[in-house]
Chain A
Amino acid sequence: MTELIVKKLNKRFGGLHVLKDVSFEIKGAELVGLIGPNGAGKTTLTNVLDGAIQPNSGTVYLNHHRIDQMQPFEVAKVGLGRTFQVTRSFRRMTVLENLYVPAQALGTKLSKAEIHDKSMEVLEFLTMDHLRNEYAQALSGGQQKLLELGRLLMLNPEVIILDEPFAGVHPKLMKIIYKYIERVNQSGSAIILISHQMDSIFSLCNRLLVLNYGDLIADGPPDDVKNDPHVIEAYLGIDEEEAE
């Protein structure tokens, strides 16, 4: 079973204390929302979990592997995948090649044909199979976002961090992303969802983490979090209209 244990994570940039003793655990196929106002440290937390940034102190264990001192590519191999806030497809590679990269990087015993089949399956799921030989740069923004999600599936991750997957996405594509999240969750992987779209967060997630200036101020079911006075003060209180 998936088990992500984050303990007393601290990160400073110069004088800025961006993560302050952040601790939480994710067990099993949870769907966790990570919210917080801008500058709360959400992206930094993602980068630390992913290995792009090393924390100043604290530990992160994923399925008993200590990942906080690892390089991003090692973290990916242990089973943590992430998307980026701004879509980052490999623009001048074909859609299929985009999917081959993580599959090959994993170094599994899959043959090329098996990787191809799996990629095609993922593309069909994303309703993009007809685009398989197009260069990614020819795709629309929403399609590139789907492609990025598809790449993650190829990695067979235990934990997926989705950074703003709904930002600027057409409602039709939103449906596919919902389906995607469902699929990943059913396969037993955990999802950490970062989004400013409160309605999506509240309808999808069964647990919320709230970051505020580096502090993890709330951790619990959405309804509890919604009524938590700290959260209301720090976050929901400020942009209430947006949240409702």
Chain B
Amino acid sequence: MEFSGIFWGVIGWMIFWGVTGSIVSRRVYLHKDLDTSNTGLVGSMLGAATGPVGLAFLWMKTPEITTRMMLFPSLATVAVFMLTFSISDPGNLCVTNGSFVASQISNGLIIGIIYGFMALGLTLIFSILGVVSFAHGEFYMIGGMITYFFTTVWFPELGPIVGILAACISTFILGAVFERVFLTPMYTGKVDRPVEYGILITFGLAFTLQYFIQATVGANPVKAKRFFDFPKVRLPSAEDPWLIKTSRGNMELFDTISISNPRFTAAVMCILVFLALMYFLRRTWTGKALRAVSLDRDAAAIAGINPNKMNMLAFALGSMIAALAGAMLVQAFSWLPQVGAIPAMRSFVIVVLGGLGSIPGAFLGGVIVGLVEAAGTGCIPNAQKAASYIPAYGMIVLTLTLLLRPTGLLGRKYASGTHGKV
């Protein structure tokens, strides 16, 4: 970085005014008898983006806080941050090379969709059972492993769909059985602290599954072969391939954006399954019953829905979604028994960012985290450092979310209940 002094100076300034804004704005609003639920977010973002000027305006006028008032300062803060970065490091690829940026953004978007899809499973489990499944990453890993064995080792002739289906079915069953055996005491008041019990027991499951796979498969990384090859396409023409150009493993758009085949197919598949899932949740009786249970368990039970069955279904379905994400990505990454840890944590970040229990929030959160990670890995000058910090990017997002807006972007205001801020 050429002018790191400028960069850290501005960051320090932003942090100072952000912290001041979040604390003082709350006081000001409280003093004026106004709603203070989002003042922390607005104050900090406005402070970070505009410094004392915007804050003075906010404190003098104390306008009612609307969604816009949260959105624009947040975007402005991101813009100021990016501007500072580009000024202080003018030689960076992220500043000079437009196609690199476009490529990073589109790859961030695509991987973000997959992340969001995986987090969707977690949010589904949470909204029905009130449990944050710490075994989510292990289901992801197992989904990938099963798909790998089906498509690459045992039945390479059968095609990827069979492998993916096998992964889905077996994790669905595993999730259902686990829920029946280990999670049922939570609802009957048999355990003293159900939430903590849920955390610990899924933690135990994660531990067991991870080492079970390591014991049976081994600790060496495996790699599944690509599910299918792109047809060779040159549009508009072979001589002038500026719109779209594909090779077997890669796709190039506008001559600049390069997307790898496995990620692309995974994202498309995730979107398709997501649509199917939305149809299931909105249009079928079982789906509606699931949503009813997530809104009000007791009322749903009175209406003739067996909430225990819905618990089982939700846990199995949520775990299956994680496995499906793994099954799609096993062709993109090399696979290890430990591979689930980082996606699991990423999913936690996404659901907290999007709002625990919110399905659109999970997708939005996924895309944001995908973009942040793409920016983090692409733009930090020292590539080795950038790679080492990958787990931290999401966690920084998580920390900021919990401090500034614990309900998440689209969270229901009281969805957190006993689990979060009261």
A and B in contact, CB less than 8 Å: yes
A contact residues vs B (CB 8 Å cutoff): 10, 12-15, 54, 56-57, 91-92, 137
Give chain A nearest CB distance to B417 CB in angstroms: 15
With an 8 Å Cβ cutoff, the count of chain B residues facing the other chain is 5
6 A/B residue pairs, CB under 8 Å, sorted by A? A12-B33, A13-B35, A14-B35, A56-B30, A56-B33, A57-B33
Min C-beta distance of A84 to chain B, whole Å: 14
A54 to B29, CA, bound (A): 13
A91 near B33: Cβ-Cβ < 8 Å: no
B192 contacts chain A at the CB level, 8 A cutoff: yes
Rounded to whole Å, the gap between the CB of B32 and the closest CB of chain A is 9
Q: Which label, helix, strand, loop or mixed, suits the secondary structure of the A interface? A: loop
Whether the Cβ atoms of A92 and B192 lie closer than 8 Å is: yes
Residues of A within 8 A of B30 (CB): 54, 56
In contact, A91 and B35 (Cβ under 8 angstroms) = no
In the bound assembly, the distance between CA atoms of A92 and B33 in angstroms comes to 39
Contacts of B33 in A (CB 8 A): 10, 12, 56-57
Query: How far does the alpha carbon of A56 sit from the alpha carbon of B33 in the complex, in Å?
Result: 6
- Nearest residue (CB) in A for B32 is A56
A57 neighbours in B (Cβ, 8 Å): 33
Smallest CB–CB gap between A104 and chain B, Å? 23
Chain B residues contacting A15 (CB-CB under 8 Å) are 35
Chain B, residue nearest A14 (CB): B35
- Chain B 27-45 interface mask (CB, 8 Å, partner A; 1/0): 0001001010100000000
When C-beta atoms are compared, the residue in chain A nearest to B37 turns out to be A14
Q: How far is the CA of A91 from the CA of B189 in the complex (A)?
A: 13
- Among B296-323, those with CB < 8 Å from A are none
Known: A54-B30, A56-B30. 11 other contacts (CB 8 A): A10-B33, A12-B33, A13-B35, A14-B35, A14-B37, A15-B35, A56-B33, A57-B33, A91-B192, A92-B192, A137-B192
B residues in contact with A12, CB < 8 Å = 33
- In the bound complex, residues from chain A placing their C-beta under 8 Å from that of B37 are 14
**A63 to B160, alpha carbons, bound, how many Å?**
77
Instruction: Report the minimum CB–CB distance from A11 to chain B (whole Å).
Output: 9
B17-34 vs A: 1/0 string, CB under 8 Å? Answer: 000000000000010010
